[in-house]
Amino acid sequence: MTISRLSIDTSGFMKDTIGDAGITNEEISALSPRLDGLRAKIKEWQTGDAVNFLNLPKTTNLDAIEQMGRECAHKFKTTIVFGIGGSSLGGEMLARTLGHHKPRNQVKFYDNIDPRTLNEVNDVNWSETLCMVVSKSGNTAETLSQFLTVLPRMERYLGEAGVREHTIVITENKDGALYNIAEQLGIKPVEHPAVGGRFSVLSVVGLLPAYISGVDVSGVLEGARAMAKRCSTEDILTNPAFFSGAAQYLHAEKGRTISAFMPYADNLRLVVNWYRQLWAESLGKIDADGRHRGMTPIESHGVTDQHSQLQLMLDGPDDKQVTFIASPGVRHEGRRIPMRFQELPAVAPLAGHTLGELFISELKATRETLSRRNRPNRTFGLYDRDAYAIGELIMLLEMETVVVAELMGVDAFDQPAVEESKILTREYLADLRSADF
């Protein structure tokens, strides 16, 4: 069995580290009976035939994804991905975190409909470009509009047969508009698994664009499988997702309902974007008693936001819990700061050290300062571009999200409130069509 390559330090959540602001193992253990229902669900998810996020590392057809990915990487220099939310964030996270970033096989993600950004697509050389369109429902207005606005240009440059060869459609709903459009164009849709978009990163949705960009998707799935096994342990104190989820819930009950994710690695910034949707959309609900539940995820970057948000974290309201992510190996990287000008007080502490040593020292200092101010924090450590560790991290964050949802008494897998804005959007579009300009 492969040893975990993701280190998890939750000591900054605990009373031993941050005093009375912290929590204890006894408080966490007291929540264990409230998770019995979730334990039963986990067993069902792991042994049943129904596809779910927990068994995706086992049920995802890796051979098919790799074969499709090899063909795409061979035929096309560039891949454009149209999708929004979970249809885009997971794949982009993997590609930016683990991909090779070579000129060939570039994967570009368009997860918004800002017309000025989408104008970039006007300059695409369609003869060497693949268009990947992803929507679970097949009715996502933004994704449909992205594809439908570039389709005439694709048809003009490629012809009908070329459009079929240069387009991959990933969708689940056979009654959805995207499925219908694909059929009319002669494109055979790739099946989106029956899981919500924000939990779909370990399926073809996230893994195909990741593979094209050079990611070791097999390693990602292997790490996720290992973490899923660890998260099936019934003991709340040794199950990493149960422990972390319970700890975050307890701090939320103390009023710390803002979750700041702070990676000390530029290539891990996209992890925050993916996590932000997972956390917000899964937890932001009304429970059975009519209470508004949830925790607000915010994006922070080390060391940049030490110079913007850290002051608030230290002296502002005690309403936050901070998660650091770091690559310990970075301490051995970067140029060495020269000894020149070391007579200057501001330069003297820096002289002779690498940028990586400064980077990690600032992380340690920030973490220690938070702990001294009795502000809860935890740290994930993983080595750079380690697919196995990223797979572990993905599964852990998904599982602890489900744990917190269970403790809050909300359904982690729906998002009932967003439908109203979709209806209003259609009404406003109708008003624009009838408006007298």
Q: Which residues are known catalytic residues? A: 281, 307, 422
263 by DSSP, 3-state: which? strand
For the four alpha carbons of 363, 366, 368 and 374, in that order, the dihedral sign comes to negative
Q: In what order do the strands lie in the sheet with 377-381?
A: 7-9, 377-381, 320-326, 258-264, 296-299
- Could you check whether the bond before residue 402 is cis, i.e. omega within 30 degrees of 0? no
Query: Do the bridges between strand 7-9 and strand 78-82 make them parallel or antiparallel, or are there none, so unpaired?
Result: unpaired
Give Cβ neighbours of residue 197 (< 8 Å, ≥ 6 apart): 85, 86, 87, 136, 205
Q: 333-368 as b/e, with b when 16 or more CB fall inside 10 Å? A: eeeebeeeeeeeeeeeebeeebebbbbbeebeebbe
For residue 246, the tally of other CB atoms under 10 A from its CB is 28
Beta-sheet pairing, 190-191 with 78-82: unpaired
Burial label, 384 (beta-carbon count in 10 A; 0-12, 13-18, 19+): middle
Q: What is the distance between the alpha carbons of residues 389 and 6, in angstroms, rounded to a whole number?
A: 5
CA atoms of 396 and 378, how far apart (whole Å) = 14
Q: Token pair 């280190």 is at which residue?
A: 7
Give the 3-state secondary structure of residue 132.
Answer: strand
**Listed residue (67, 48, 68) closest to 58, CA to CA:** 48
Integer Cα distance of 295 and 280 in angstroms: 7
Structure tokens at 435: 């408006």
Strand partners, 23: 14
SS3 279: helix
Q: CA–CA distance from 172 to each of 21, 45, 193, 194 (Å)? A: 46, 20, 7, 7
**Residue 227 is encoded by which pair of tokens?**
């973490």
**Angle at the Cα of 203 (from 201 to 205), degrees rounded to 5?**
70
List the structure tokens of 229.
């096994």
